C-alpha cells in the first residue's frame, strides 16, 4: 500500500494560489484528456544477451507460499518476520516468482524449466508461461530442448496438459536421480508427497523416450554445462550457459527468497528433500558465484531474477542487474 506524501499539495490549494497570483482567468481551462485505466501488467518477459546467445526470461507468474515460519526453519518466527518487514515485504506471506529461461544459441532453442502448468496448488496466479512465451514472440513448437533443474511441480508440470505436449518437438534434459525419485510408484504410499509423485508421473512417464539423462559436468547442449547441486532434490542440477566469454548460471532452486536465502543462507527450507545438503549446496554455489563474479538467474527471485551475489561475512547479498532497455 502506498501512502500519500505529506507535502503533496491539493489541486484546490494550487488553484487558489494561482487565482491569488492573477494566473486564472474568468473561464478556467477544463482538462479533458482523461484516459481509462489500462489494467495491464508489465510484460512477463525480459530479453538480454549472453555473448552471442539471445536470452529471454519468461514468467510463469507468482506462487503464494504463506507464513515464512511454516517452511523456513532455523530462524525464529520473529526474526523471519523482521527480515521481511525490514525489506518492505509482507511479514506473514511469502510470495515468490517463477522465472523460466529461454536461450536461443542460434542453433538450438532451449527452455529451462516449465512452470506449474494448469495446477493451482500455490495460488491462482501461476500458469502464465505459455501466454508469456507468445508475448515474447516464442512458439512452443520451435523448442529443441526443455532442460529441467529438478522435477518439482513448479519446474516440470508445464510439460504436458491432459496428455497434450506443450513442446512437441523438444528433447527433455534432466538428472536420472530426479526422474527415478519423483516417478517412483512406491512413493505413492507417502501421503505428504503422493500428489507431487502422481502429478510428476503424469508429466514425465509419457515422455520417457524423449528424456536425455544429464550427468555432473557434462556439456548437455553447445555452451550449456550441467553441474550437480543436490539437496533441494536428490538430483537438482544447475546450468552454466557460456558464449563469447560471458557466462550466466541458471541456479534453479539453490535459493528460494531474495532476502531470507541470502541474509540467512543456513536457514533450512522445508521443501528441500535433504535440507542440510540444501544448505551445503547453497553455501558452495553462492561462494562460487561471488568469488567468480558470475551473473546468475534464480528461479524464485523477484522478476526477472538476474544479478550477482556479494559475500558479506557469513551472509550474502543479492544485487539485481540493471535492466537493459536496449538489446
Ligand atoms: Zn521451485
Pairing mode, if any, of strands 160-161 and 145-147? Answer: unpaired
Residue-by-residue DSSP string for 62-131: -EEEE-GGGTEESS-HHHHHHHHHHTTS-TT-EEE--EEEEEE-SS-EEEE----TT--TT-TT---HHH
> How much distance in Å is there from the Cα of 305 to the middle of ligand 1?
13
Q: Which of 147, 139, 326 is nearest to 250 (CA)?
A: 147
- CA 115 / ligand 1 centre spacing (Å): 9
Mean pLDDT of the chain: 93
Q: How far is CA 172 from the centre of its chain?
A: 19
Q: Which residue has the higher pLDDT, 4 or 220?
A: 220
If you measure from the C-alpha of residue 301 to the centroid of ligand 1, how many angstroms do you get, rounded to a whole number?
Answer: 10
pLDDT tens digits, 132-157: 999 999 999 999 999 999 999 999 99
Distance from residue 77's CA to the centre of ligand 1 (Å): 22
Write out the residues surrounding ion ligand 1, Cβ under 5 A.
154, 253
pTM flag (> 0.75): yes
How remote is the CA of residue 8 from the centroid of ligand 1, in Å? Answer: 42
Q: How far is the CA of 321 from the centre of ligand 1 (A)?
A: 21
* CA atoms of 226 and 247, how far apart (whole Å): 13
Res 4 pLDDT > 80: no
Residue 2's pLDDT is 53
Q: How far is CA 221 from the centre of its chain?
A: 22
Torsion of CA 192, 271, 114, 323, to 10 degrees: 160
pLDDT band at 297 (very low <50, low <70, confident <90, very high): very high
Is the per-residue pLDDT at 94 higher than 70?
A: yes
- For position 18, what pLDDT does the model report? 46
Question: What's the 61 CA to ligand 1 centre distance in angstroms?
Answer: 12
Question: How high is the pLDDT of residue 301?
Answer: 98
Distance 237 CA to ligand 1 centre (A): 12
User: Residue written as cell 532451449?
Assistant: 110
The answer to whether 145 and 110 are in contact (CB under 8 A) is yes
What's the CA-to-centroid distance between 10 and ligand 1, angstroms?
46
Contacts of 253 (CB under 8 A, 6+ apart): 149, 150, 152, 155, 232, 233, 236, 299, 300
Amino acid at each position: 500500500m502506498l501512502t500519500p506524501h505529506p507535502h503533496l499539495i491539493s489541486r484546490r490549494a494550487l488553484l487558489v494560489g494561482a487565482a491569488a497570483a492573477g494566473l486564472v482567468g474568468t473561464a478556467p481551462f477544463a482538462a479533458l484528456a482523461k484516459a481509462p485505466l489500462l489494467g495491464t501488467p508489465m510484460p512477463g518477459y525480459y530479453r538480454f544477451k549472453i555473448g552471442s546467445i539471445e536470452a529471454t526470461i519468461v514468467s510463469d507468474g507468482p506462487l503464494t507460499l504463506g507464513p515464512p515460519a511454516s517452511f523456513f526453519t532455523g530462524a525464529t518466527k520473529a526474526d523471519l518476520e523482521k527480515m521481511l518487514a525490514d525489506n518492505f515485504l509482507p511479514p506473514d506471506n511469502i510470495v515468490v516468482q517463477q522465472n523460466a529461461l529461454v536461450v536461443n544459441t542460434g542453433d538450438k532453442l532451449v527452455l529451462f524449466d516449465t512452470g506449474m502448468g494448469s495446477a493451482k496448488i500455490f495460488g491462482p496466479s501461476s500458469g502464465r508461461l505459455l501466454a508469456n512465451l507468445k508475448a515474447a514472440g516464442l512458439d512452443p513448437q520451435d523448442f529443441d530442448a526443455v532442460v529441467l533443474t529438478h522435477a518439482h511441480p513448479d519446474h516440470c508440470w508445464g510439460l504436458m496438459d491432459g496428455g497434450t505436449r506443450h513442446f512437441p518437438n523438444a528433447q527433455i534434459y534432466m538428472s536420472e536421480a530426479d526422474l527415478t525419485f519423483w516417478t517412483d510408484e512406491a512413493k505413492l504410499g507417502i501421503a505428504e508427497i503422493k500428489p507431487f509423485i502422481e502429478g510428476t508421473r503424469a508429466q514425465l512417464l509419457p515422455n520417457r523416450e524423449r528424456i536425455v539423462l544429464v550427468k555432473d559436468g557434462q556439456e548437455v547442449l553447445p555452451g550449456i554445462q550441467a553441474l550437480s547441486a543436490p539437496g533441494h532434490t536428490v538430483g537438482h542440477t544447475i546450468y552454466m550457459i557460456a558464449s563469447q566469454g560471458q557466462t550466466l548460471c541458471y541456479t534453479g532452486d539453490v535459493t528460494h527468497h531474495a532476502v531470507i536465502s541470502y541474509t540467512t543462507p543456513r536457514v533450512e527450507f522445508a521443501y528441500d528433500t535433504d535440507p542440510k545438503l540444501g544448505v551445503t549446496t547453497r553455501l558452495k554455489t553462492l561462494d562460487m558465484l561471488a568469488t567468480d563474479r558470475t551473473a546468475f538467474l534464480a528461479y524464485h527471485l523477484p522478476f526477472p531474477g538476474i544479478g550477482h551475489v556479494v559475500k558479506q561475512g557469513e551472509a550474502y547479498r543479492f544485487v539485481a542487474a540493471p535492466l537493459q532497455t536496449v538489446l
